[in-house]
A and B are shown apart, each in its own frame.
Chain A
C-alpha cells in the first residue's frame, strides 16, 4: 500500500505566535527582554498584575508577541479615518495630532495614499480559466507571508506621509496628544472603523498592540485600570466625533454638542467578547426571544433615546401569549425618537411602542429625553423621522412576517452580504458554486444549503456580518477586516487551522479544508496529520465585478443582500 501520496512533505503546524506582531506586515524587529521590562515599568502597564493571566497566555508573552514598537517621523500618517483597524496605539515618546474635522471638511491630503483594493486585471481575471489548479485546495508551501494590509513599502514598512504638516495644522482642526496616551483602542476593540486620522507631529515612538493582546489584557487585568481609562477616554475624545458622524446630529453646533456630551452614556448590553450567546441562541428561537436582554420595555415612559453604535437590536411587540418581531435596528439607527417626538409635539404623555432587546450584544449611546427635547426645540436635530425608521418599514407591499422573524431570530440581520436564494426560482443547477470555484482557484467557498424559511434559503455563505463574531477567538488575527471595505477575510498565510472561527460562526459559513500540494497530495505536518485551513466566502474582493455567485445565477434566484439596507430587505421579502 503506497503511502507516498499522503506523506509528501511535512511542515510544522502553525501556532498563535509563530509570527510575532513585531515581524508582521513588513516590520522587522524583535522585542527583547529589556524592551519588555521597560514597558512593564511604564505607567500604562505597571499596575497590571501578571498573575491574573493564564499560563498559556502570560503577560510578558503578550507584550513580546502582540506588541511592536514603531517609529514615526513627522508627518507620517499612523491611522486614517475610515480604515478598519485591529490595533491600538500607546504613545511612548513624541506627540501626535488627531484631526478633528469630519466629513467633507476632512483634508483630502490626509487621505492621499489610500490604497485601492488590489483587484485582478482583466487578463488576470481571464487567466483564471486556465491557471486554476486542477487539484482541490492547493496551497503553495513556499509562499512567503504577504501583506494582509494595504501598505506601501518604504524600506520594509510603508508609510503615507503628509508633506506639509504645518499647512494641514493651520487648515484643519487638530488636537495634539503627548506621550502617555492611548488612541485607536475603541476602533480596535469595538470592531468599528477608525473615527479620526492621526499623524505624527514630531519624531515619535509608539507602542502598537494587536487587539487580541489588548483583549487579553483587559480580560485578565484584575485591576481594571486600563478598562476604566479607556472608557473615560472614550467620553472625552470619541463621543463627540462619534455623535457628529451620525446623521441625526450632523448639523448640531459646537455649543450644543458641549451641552449634550456630559449627559450621554455609552452602554453595552449582552455578552460582548464571546460568541457564546449566538451559539446558545441559535438553538431555539422562541426561547431566544424571551431570553434576550431587554434594553427598553414596551409601554414604558420614553425617558431616553438609544443611538445604536454596534450590534443589532430587535423591536418586538406583545402578541397574544408571545412576542411578535416588528423590526430590527442596526448601527446608526435610533430607538425612542419617534415616541419622544410624538410626546414633544402633542404635549401628552407617550410610551415606547415596542420593546428594544439586544440580539447577542448591543453597544448604544443613551441620551436622556429632556436633552433631546431641548435639541428639538432649538432645531438642531435634522430629519428626525428618517433615523427613526426601523428595518423594515413595511410601507411597500406586504411584509412576509415569517421571513422577518426567521431572519431576526436566526441573527441573519447581522449580515451585510447575506446570500439569500429564492428556492422557487433556483433550479439547483450549481452555476453559482461553479462560478465561486472559478474565482477561487477551483475551490468553491460556500455550499448551496442552509436554513429555509418558506421559499427563501439563507445559504451557508459568509455574510460579512456587522459584528463578525468569528474574529473574536482567532489567535493570530488571520481572520480580519479588510482595511477599506469592511469585508471579513482570511489570510491563508497566517491561518493555523485551529478551527475556532469555524466553530464560532453561528451561520456555519466557515469550513476547514485539507490543503494539498501541486501533485494533489494532502499536506501533512511532522505528525502526519493533514494541515487544515479555514476558508470562507471573501465576496470576490480581488475579482472584477464583485461576487461571482450572484452574477452567475441564470434565474435571478441568488442574491447577496445587505440586510442593513431598507430597500434590499424589502426587495427580498416583498418579492
Chain B
C-alpha cells in the first residue's frame, strides 16, 4: 500500500490559513514556503536562516521546522548559503472573489450614475413602452411625472415628499373632459357621492364576507380622492389597454358584490326610464290592434310595415339612444285628421249670443240693446274669452245669454277694434300673459270683419247710444240658410250661428299651443277666473268638444290627449310638447342601440321592450289625466301621481343576461357602465 500523500503529524503539516489574503507565489509549483507572505503581500523569505557566529565560524540556525541545520552551513562571510527563494505572492481565491465583487459593484455604480446624470436621455429610466396614445410624450418624463422634472430631487421625491396626486394633476392637463371631480370616485364628489352611496348601501344584497373584505380593504369615507394611476397603469407596452379593469377591480369599492352579470347583478329598476314619457302612446293597442289591421292609410315614406319599431324610432347620430321621429313622419298619417277635427265646429271665441231675459218688444220696435243679429242657432252662452273681454278681465256670474249692458260693451269693443286694432283687446285684459297676444292679434281682423258684416249701422248706432238718442234702425243682415260646416282650418266666421270659431290648423297648432301654455299653469288656482277654466275645459277637457255643453270624448285639437303635463323644476305645471331627448352627457350606464340592432329581425325591439298587454283600460283616453276638483273644475294630473307608462314592461336584467353571459364573454362591468361620469 503506497504511502498517503498527506501526512498528519505536526512536522509534515502545518496550519492552512484560508483567511489570509496572500498566498505564496510558489504554491502553484507545489513548493510553497512555510512562512507564507506577510500580511501586506510581500514575500517573507529573505534568507533561510540567520547564521550565528560562534568564534570565527558561522553556524546555521535553521529551525527544525524548516529542516534543521543545512548541510553546507553558512558561507565564510556569514551569509546564508541558500539561494534567495523569494516569490511573488498571489491573492488567495477568497480575496480574488472579493476583488471581483468590488469590480462588479464599481461597474454597476458607474452605470447607475450615468443613467441618472442629466446628460443621459430620460428614456433610460423608462420601465417599459407607453401606450401608443402617449407615445409622443415618451421622451419627456416630466409630462406625466413630477419626479421627472429634475434628477436632483429623486431621493426626496421617493421617500419624503411623494405626492401621487400631483402626478394625477398632470394627467388632467390633457384629459379635461372626464367629469367635475375626476379624482373622486366616479368623478362625483361631495354630497352627491354620499347620497348615491347611501342609496346603494340600502339595496346591498352581497354576502357578509365580501362586504367585510371590502370594508377592510377600503376603510375610509367614500369621498377619498384617488390618483389616476390607481386604475390606469402605463408603461406596459404600446398596445396595452389602459382603461381595462377587471370586474373584481370595479367591485372592490362597492359593498354590493357579485360573481358576474348573469349571477348576482342587482335587478334593474325602472330601466330604461324611471320617469313617465312625454307623449302618451299606447304601444299595445297600436301594435296589436291598429298596426296589425294594416288597413289604415299610410303616408309613411318607404312604405315600411307599420309593425316595425324602426318606422317611428330611429337611432341618434351616435347610434346610442333611439329618438322618436317627428309627428309628420309617424303619427300624422292617422292622427292629423283627428287633430284638425273638421267635423267639429271648433272653439268659439266670439258669438252673437242669445240675449238673456229677452224683453217683449213690438214688432218693428228697436230693442234697448239695439241691433243684435241673433239667429236661431246662436249660442246660448257666451264664449269664455268673450265674456272676459267684455267684463274687462273680471269674472262674471254665469248666466244664460248676454245682457244688454254687455251687448253695448261688445259693440263698443267692436268699434274700438275697428279703430285701433287688437290693442283694444289686449288692453281689456291687462293681466293677460303675452301668450295671449298672438291669438288676440289674429282675432282682431276677424272682429273687424264681423263688425262690418253683422253690424252695418254700428257706428251710427253707437253714436246714438252715446248721445242717448233713439237708436236708428240698422239694416237687416241676411240670415244664411242652414249651412254646412265650411272645411276651413284656423279662424273662421260662421254666419249661421253668428260665431267666430277656431279650428286647429294642423298638429302643433300655434294658437292652441299658446293658449294651453297660458292656461295649464293657471288651472286649478283659486284666483283664476272661471272663464279661463271654461276655456281650458274647451281645449283640454276629455269630455268636452268645442262647446261646453256638448259632451264627447274629444277636446279641440286633442292636444292633451297625447301631450302629458309635468311639473318642471320651478314647480310649475307645463305641457310636454316634445318627446324626451336622451341626455347627452356621460352617465353611469351607457347603452347603445346600434350594436344590438345589427341582428336581423322584424320584431327585434320587442325582445327587450316587451309590451304590457294586460293594461286595464281599453279606452283611448286615460282618465287619470285629469281630475275634477271640488268645484267640478278639471285639473291635469301632475306628474308624480299619474301612473302613466309607455306601455312597455320594464327591462329586466335577465333580458340582458340572455346574451351578456359567460358564453359570449360580454359581461364585464365596463361593457355597460362608465366610471367617469359627468353627472349623476
List the A side residues contacting B36 at CB < 8 Å: 136
Interface residue ranges of B231-256 to A (CB < 8 Å): none
List the B side residues contacting A444 at CB < 8 Å: 15-19
* Stretch touching chain B among A68-76, A142-150, A435-443: A435-443
Q: Evaluate contact between B47 and A3: CB separation under 8 angstroms.
A: yes
Interface residue ranges of B1-35 to A (CB < 8 Å): 6, 8-10, 13-20, 35
Most chain B beta-carbon contacts within 10 A, residue among A135, A136, A502, A510: A136
Q: Does B44 contact A (CB under 8 A)?
A: yes
Q: A3-B46, A134-B39, A434-B18 are in contact. Are A527 and B10 (CB under 8 A)?
A: no
Q: Which of B14, B16, B40, B51 touches A448 (beta carbons < 8 Å)? A: B16
Q: How far is the CA of A508 from the CA of B14 in the complex (A)?
A: 11
For A267-288 the 0/1 string (1 means CB < 8 A from B) is 0000000000000000000000
Q: How far is the CA of A5 from the CA of B9 in the complex (A)?
A: 28
Q: Evaluate contact between B49 and A528: CB separation under 8 angstroms.
A: yes
Q: Does B426 contact A (CB under 8 A)?
A: no
Q: Does B494 contact A (CB under 8 A)?
A: no
Q: Evaluate contact between A437 and B19: CB separation under 8 angstroms.
A: yes
Q: Evaluate contact between A447 and B16: CB separation under 8 angstroms.
A: yes
Q: Which of B18, B50, B84 touches A6 (beta carbons < 8 Å)? A: B50
Q: Does B427 contact A (CB under 8 A)?
A: no
Q: Evaluate contact between A449 and B6: CB separation under 8 angstroms.
A: yes
Q: Evaluate contact between A508 and B10: CB separation under 8 angstroms.
A: yes
Q: A433-B16, A512-B65 are in contact. Are A1 and B8 (CB under 8 A)?
A: no
Q: Evaluate contact between B17 and A136: CB separation under 8 angstroms.
A: yes
Q: How far is the CA of A513 from the CA of B39 in the complex (A)?
A: 17
Question: How far apart are B271's CB and chain A's nearest CB, in angstroms?
Answer: 69
Q: Does B367 contact A (CB under 8 A)?
A: no
Most chain B beta-carbon contacts within 10 A, residue among A1, A446, A502: A1
List the A side residues contacting B19 at CB < 8 Å: 433-434, 437-438, 442, 444
Q: Evaluate contact between A532 and B63: CB separation under 8 angstroms.
A: yes
Q: Does B206 contact A (CB under 8 A)?
A: no
Q: Evaluate contact between B8 and A508: CB separation under 8 angstroms.
A: yes
Q: How far is the CA of A135 from the CA of B18 in the complex (A)?
A: 13
Interface residue ranges of A1-53 to B (CB < 8 Å): 1-3, 5-7
Q: How far is the CA of A350 from the CA of B18 in the complex (A)?
A: 58
Question: How far apart are A435's CB and chain B's nearest CB, in angstroms?
Answer: 9
Question: How far apart are A132's CB and chain B's nearest CB, in angstroms?
Answer: 9
Question: How far apart are A378's CB and chain B's nearest CB, in angstroms?
Answer: 53
Most chain B beta-carbon contacts within 10 A, residue among A135, A443, A529: A529
Q: Does B567 contact A (CB under 8 A)?
A: no
List the A side residues contacting B44 at CB < 8 Å: 5, 520
Q: Which of A448, A460, A532 touches B65 (beta carbons < 8 Å)? A: A532
Question: How far apart are A453's CB and chain B's nearest CB, in angstroms?
Answer: 14
Q: Evaluate contact between B46 and A514: CB separation under 8 angstroms.
A: no
Question: How far apart are A273's CB and chain B's nearest CB, in angstroms?
Answer: 22
Question: How far apart are B82's CB and chain A's nearest CB, in angstroms?
Answer: 10
Q: How far is the CA of A378 from the CA of B513 in the complex (A)?
A: 133
Q: Which of A449, A508, A524 touches B50 (beta carbons < 8 Å)? A: A524
Q: Does B38 contact A (CB under 8 A)?
A: yes
Interface residue ranges of A456-475 to B (CB < 8 Å): 460
List the A side residues contacting B18 at CB < 8 Å: 430, 433-434, 437, 444
Q: Which of A134, A511, A514 touches B10 (beta carbons < 8 Å)? A: A511
Q: How far is the CA of A442 from the CA of B35 in the complex (A)?
A: 15
Chain A, Cβ-Cβ closest to B12: A508
Q: How many residues of A contact B (CB 8 A)?
A: 42
Q: Which of A430, A442, A513, A528 touches B14 (beta carbons < 8 Å)? A: A513
List the A side residues contacting B259 at CB < 8 Å: none
List the B side residues contacting A85 at CB < 8 Å: none
Q: Evaluate contact between B15 and A7: CB separation under 8 angstroms.
A: no
Q: Does B568 contact A (CB under 8 A)?
A: no
Q: Does B423 contact A (CB under 8 A)?
A: no
List the B side residues contacting A5 at CB < 8 Å: 44, 46
Q: Does A58 contact B (CB under 8 A)?
A: no
Q: Evaluate contact between B47 and A511: CB separation under 8 angstroms.
A: no
Q: Which of A438, A449, A460, A528 touches B52 (beta carbons < 8 Å)? A: A528
Q: Does A94 contact B (CB under 8 A)?
A: no
Question: How far apart are A76's CB and chain B's nearest CB, in angstroms?
Answer: 42
Q: Which of A451, A499, A522 touches B8 (beta carbons < 8 Å)? A: A451
Q: Evaluate contact between B16 and A530: CB separation under 8 angstroms.
A: no
Interface residue ranges of A127-178 to B (CB < 8 Å): 134-136
Chain B, Cβ-Cβ closest to A443: B15
Q: A1-B47, A5-B46, A512-B10 are in contact. Are A135 and B61 (CB under 8 A)?
A: no
Q: Evaluate contact between A511 and B14: CB separation under 8 angstroms.
A: yes
List the A side residues contacting B14 at CB < 8 Å: 447, 511, 513
Q: Evaluate contact between A449 and B13: CB separation under 8 angstroms.
A: yes
Most chain A beta-carbon contacts within 10 A, residue among B10, B13, B36: B10
Q: A5-B44, A450-B8, A508-B8 are in contact. Are A514 and B65 (CB under 8 A)?
A: yes
Question: How far apart are B603's CB and chain A's nearest CB, in angstroms?
Answer: 80
Q: Does B79 contact A (CB under 8 A)?
A: yes
For A413-436 the 0/1 string (1 means CB < 8 A from B) is 000000000000000001001100
Q: How far is the CA of A7 from the CA of B39 in the complex (A)?
A: 18
Q: How far is the CA of A13 from the CA of B482 in the complex (A)?
A: 165
Q: How far is the CA of A3 from the CA of B46 in the complex (A)?
A: 7
List the B side residues contacting A7 at CB < 8 Å: 50
For A99-124 the 0/1 string (1 means CB < 8 A from B) is 00000000000000000000000000
Q: Evaluate contact between A447 and B15: CB separation under 8 angstroms.
A: yes
Q: How far is the CA of A444 from the CA of B63 in the complex (A)?
A: 22
For B495-534 the 0/1 string (1 means CB < 8 A from A) is 0000000000000000000000000000000000000000
Q: Evaluate contact between B8 and A460: CB separation under 8 angstroms.
A: yes
Interface residue ranges of B380-430 to A (CB < 8 Å): none
Q: How far is the CA of A445 from the CA of B10 in the complex (A)?
A: 12
List the A side residues contacting B10 at CB < 8 Å: 499, 502-503, 508, 510-512
Question: How far apart are B99's CB and chain A's nearest CB, in angstroms?
Answer: 18
Q: How far is the CA of A449 from the CA of B65 in the complex (A)?
A: 20
Q: Evaluate contact between B15 and A530: CB separation under 8 angstroms.
A: no
List the B side residues contacting A433 at CB < 8 Å: 16-19
Q: Evaluate contact between A520 and B65: CB separation under 8 angstroms.
A: no
Q: How far is the CA of A451 from the CA of B8 in the complex (A)?
A: 9
Question: How far apart are A504's CB and chain B's nearest CB, in angstroms?
Answer: 11
List the A side residues contacting B6 at CB < 8 Å: 449
Q: How far is the CA of A566 from the CA of B59 in the complex (A)?
A: 56
Question: How far apart are B246's CB and chain A's nearest CB, in angstroms?
Answer: 45
Question: How far apart are B57's CB and chain A's nearest CB, in angstroms?
Answer: 14
Q: How far is the CA of A215 from the CA of B515 in the complex (A)?
A: 143
Question: How far apart are A1's CB and chain B's nearest CB, in angstroms?
Answer: 5
Interface residue ranges of B56-81 to A (CB < 8 Å): 61, 63, 65, 79-80
Q: A6-B47, A433-B16, A460-B8 are in contact. Are A528 and B38 (CB under 8 A)?
A: no
Q: How far is the CA of A457 from the CA of B170 in the complex (A)?
A: 70
Q: Evaluate contact between B50 and A3: CB separation under 8 angstroms.
A: yes
Q: How far is the CA of A135 from the CA of B19 in the complex (A)?
A: 11
List the A side residues contacting B15 at CB < 8 Å: 443-447, 511, 513
Q: How far is the CA of A307 from the CA of B47 in the complex (A)?
A: 59
Q: Evaluate contact between A6 and B13: CB separation under 8 angstroms.
A: no
Most chain A beta-carbon contacts within 10 A, residue among B8, B36, B47, B51: B8
Q: Evaluate contact between A1 and B79: CB separation under 8 angstroms.
A: yes
Question: How far apart are B75's CB and chain A's nearest CB, in angstroms?
Answer: 11
Question: How far apart are B77's CB and chain A's nearest CB, in angstroms?
Answer: 11
| B residues apposed to A, CB below 8 Å | 6, 8-10, 13-20, 35-36, 38-40, 44, 46-47, 49-52, 61, 63, 65, 79-80, 84
For the complex of A and B, the 4 pairs showing the least CB-CB separation, nearest first, are A134-B39, A430-B18, A528-B50, A508-B8
| A residues apposed to B, CB below 8 Å | 1-3, 5-7, 134-136, 430, 433-434, 437-438, 442-451, 460, 499, 502-503, 508, 510-514, 520, 522, 524, 527-530, 532
17 additional contacts (CB under 8 A) given A444-B16, A513-B15:
A1-B47, A2-B46, A5-B46, A135-B38, A433-B19, A445-B15, A448-B16, A449-B8, A449-B13, A499-B10, A511-B10, A511-B13, A513-B14, A514-B65, A528-B51, A528-B52, A530-B63
